Amino acid sequence: MSGLNLDDFATLIERPDSGVRRDAEERRERIGPRPGALGRLDELGEWLAAAQGAVPVKPVTRPKAVLFAGDHGVAELGVSGGPAEGARTLVRAALDGLGTGAILARRAGVELRVVDMSLDCDPADLPGDVTRHRVRRGSGRIDVEDALTAEEAERAFRAGMAVADEEADSGTDLVVLGDLSVGGTTAAGVLIAALCGTDASVVTGRGGFGIDDLAWMRKCAAIRDALRRARPVLGDQLQLLAAVGGADLAAMTGFLLQSAVRRTPVILDGVVCAAAALVGQRVAFRAPDWWLAGQAAGDPAQAKALDRMALNPLLDHGVTVGEGTGALLALPLVQAAAALAAELPEHA
């Protein structure tokens, strides 16, 4: 398998329509309440208009929550507070409607899609539509070995692209992106530290489930060791994802880039999404113009990545649980901005 040229994304991805955005700004001058009175809702409405290429902006009526799932071998070092059974437990809860993201999605009337990329379980344990893109069973332990082979990294990346195309083709008008992983925040920390040129201690957070000081030190050491393996391949983003990412992170990167190609706006959840987005920015510098940061989780790596991409979180509630939870909390703000921009009447 070959023929995937990441450089093509830099050509294919255009920014949201700046002319339409100016038209949206001018229309905003003609409606009440006065400009600025709605704060960031004005900015969001104008961003959506540019993404849609339409003034007035169209309401967001078909959002979808897409969660990429995977297990990371580095979790065996005791760097995560996630379930001992692995991310399969999180996926099962999401499918049963019992996870935090699933509950919020249901309350918001948002369809939830789970994509298994590298869960460490028998695929027969889960529905076929969840497992059909799986690349392998668990990703490698990134402090001592590659997470994926080069072929697996490309397969995962292409799978993410395929999911983005499926969503665009089905009429999804906004994606809430999240992860269901155990060990994923460690891999995310490595990617962000490598791309931002920082040390392990600067990006090591407490993870989605919270860890004690001893586990934090183990996590910091794992990120440090994986960073040594990441730095020699910084010039090749697929190699970087293979070395220290994982199938879920590779798929999310492909998903984000192809969503930008297809002009589908995306709300990012936590640090795992931020890491994939940062890799995507390295591939195509215009891509982040299609993404919103849903919330600030309080994770130092996420803050570093969002700052590098100049993405200002919509909410700051310190939600670290993942599962798309923080981004789903931000979704009503985006929908409100679209509704106000679309429905407020112009002055006579």
Sign of CA dihedral 233, 246, 117, 317: negative
CA 230 vs CA 16, 113, 309: distances in Å: 33, 31, 20
How many DSSP H helices and E strands does the chain contain? 15, 5
* Burial environment of residue 170 by CB neighbours within 10 A (0 to 12, 13 to 18, 19 or more): exposed
Interatomic CA distance for residues 24 and 5, integer angstroms: 35
Interatomic CA distance for residues 319 and 325, integer angstroms: 7
Catalytic, out of 25, 46, 323, 343: 323
Extract the tokens encoding 318: 């310190």
Question: Do 326 and 297 touch, CB atoms closer than 8 A?
Answer: yes
Q: What is the largest CA-CA distance in the chain?
A: 68
Sign of CA dihedral 326, 114, 264, 133: positive
Interatomic CA distance for residues 274 and 2, integer angstroms: 27
At 95 the three-state DSSP class reads helix
Extract the tokens encoding 156: 């995962």
Is 343 annotated as catalytic? no
Interatomic CA distance for residues 80 and 84, integer angstroms: 9
Show which residues are catalytic.
323
